[in-house]
Amino acid sequence: MPESPALLPTLPPALAALAKLPPMTGLDLLAQAGRVGIARHAKRLYGHHDDVMRSNDDEAVHQMRVATRRMRAVLATTEEVFKPKALKPLAKPLRRVARELGVVRDGDVFLAQLGAYRNTLQPEEQADFDIFVERTQAERDAAQLALRHELASKHYQRLLDELTTFVTQPLKDVVADDDGLPILVRHRAGSACWSRYEAVRRYETILPTATSEQLHALRIAGKHLRYTLELFEAPLGPEAETLLKPVRDLQEQLGAIHDADVAVAQAQVHLHKQGTVPVILRYIEAREAERTAAVTALPELWAQLTGESYRQAAGRALAGL
């Protein structure tokens, strides 16, 4: 059974020791800084594994999902300094477990939103709405079973083993040939952060009339920017938080828009199966109104992220590397 204690992994001491190292500096080797980042996030996988396997702890699922996302972000940012064969055992398995975690997490978020709306209904309306909630809960429960199966699988154990090997084996065994010019953190942090920022800023050409798909793509680009800034937060210095806050604020608003889009789509599927249900129609209207309000707030948040004062703060941070 997936819940068997024998299947719960134990944090390797070598990985735990690496995760405790001080924050990176601009003078650290980028490869080693990347490995320390991977170790820190891998430690979070171990730390929340038990709760995900044994309970319905939605926060544990969230934390594991964040850990997989950030490991993937670290690898994407530092991949040029590693041998391809060192990264190959990590990329696909990380994507696989991140996908399983994401389905459960999305279900948790949606159920919380449905619960909040249900609390606003009259008792006689709740019965019709509960059919929708119960269907969503069943889908979430099925996703959790699939997640537990994945976390108890040989694939996942192999991923944990590969992560430990990657971060603890001699650096020379994983680092690509550098032609005698080692790549330090400050040799790549500036271009990594700025290129992610430029990828976000490109959306200024379509933002006033962006589709739901384009706004979702912007949200993903924003996540990449946020994770890159967080990776290099220590060497960026005190300006780092100034750079991060507008990104988080924009992400939150884009997340609200995406959540509303998903909620409306799910409700419409329910209507297709159940026929006309007045309380579901009103739910759709409420979520569409929330989406409209969130879109209306976007220009102000966008200005905070793309304005001259933000770029000046970025310049100061990058100049200090």
Task: Check for a shared fold between 24-185 and 188-321.
Answer: yes
Please identify every stretch of the chain with a pLDDT value under 70, giving residue numbers as ranges. Answer: 1-7
Return the DSSP state at 321: -
Give the model confidence (pLDDT) of 183-240 as tens digits. 999 999 999 999 999 999 999 999 989 999 999 999 999 999 999 999 999 999 999 9
| Distance (Å, whole) CA 266 – CA 188 | 42
How many Cα neighbours within 13 Å face the side chain of 300?
A: 7
Overall fold of domain 188-321: CHAD domain (1.40.20)
| Distance (Å, whole) CA 68 – CA 44 | 9
- What predicted TM-score, i.e. pTM, was given to this entire model? 0.92
CATH number, span 24-185: 1.40.20.10
Amino acid identity, residue 8?
L
| Distance (Å, whole) CA 113 – CA 116 | 5
**What pLDDT shows up at residue 4?**
45
Count of other CB atoms within 10 angstroms of residue 85: 9
Per the CB < 8 A criterion, the answer to whether 253 and 297 are in contact is yes
The secondary structure of 47-103 as a DSSP string is HHHHHHHHS--HHHHHHHHHHHHHHHHHHHHHGGGB-HHHHHHHHHHHHHHHHHHHH
| Distance (Å, whole) CA 223 – CA 196 | 9
| Distance (Å, whole) CA 187 – CA 232 | 12
The dihedral region occupied by 173, where left means phi > 0, alpha psi between -120 and 50, and beta the remainder, is alpha
Per the CB < 8 A criterion, the answer to whether 196 and 224 are in contact is yes
Q: 230 to each of 140, 224, 247, how far by Cα in Å?
A: 30, 10, 11
Return the DSSP state at 177: P
**What pLDDT shows up at residue 6?**
41
Of 62, 52, 66, nearest in space to 9 by CA = 52
DSSP run (H or E) holding 196: helix 189-201
**What pLDDT shows up at residue 100?**
97
Residues 6+ apart with CB under 8 A from 158: 89, 93
**What pLDDT shows up at residue 7?**
57
Give the model confidence (pLDDT) of 87-124 as tens digits. 999 999 999 999 999 999 999 999 999 999 999 999 98
**What pLDDT shows up at residue 2?**
43
The dihedral region occupied by 237, where left means phi > 0, alpha psi between -120 and 50, and beta the remainder, is left
Report the helix count and the strand count for the chain, using DSSP H and E: 12, 0
Domain residue ranges in the chain: 24-185, 188-321
How many Cα neighbours within 13 Å face the side chain of 317?
A: 27
**What pLDDT shows up at residue 274?**
85
Residue 175: phi and psi, rounded to 5, are -85, 135
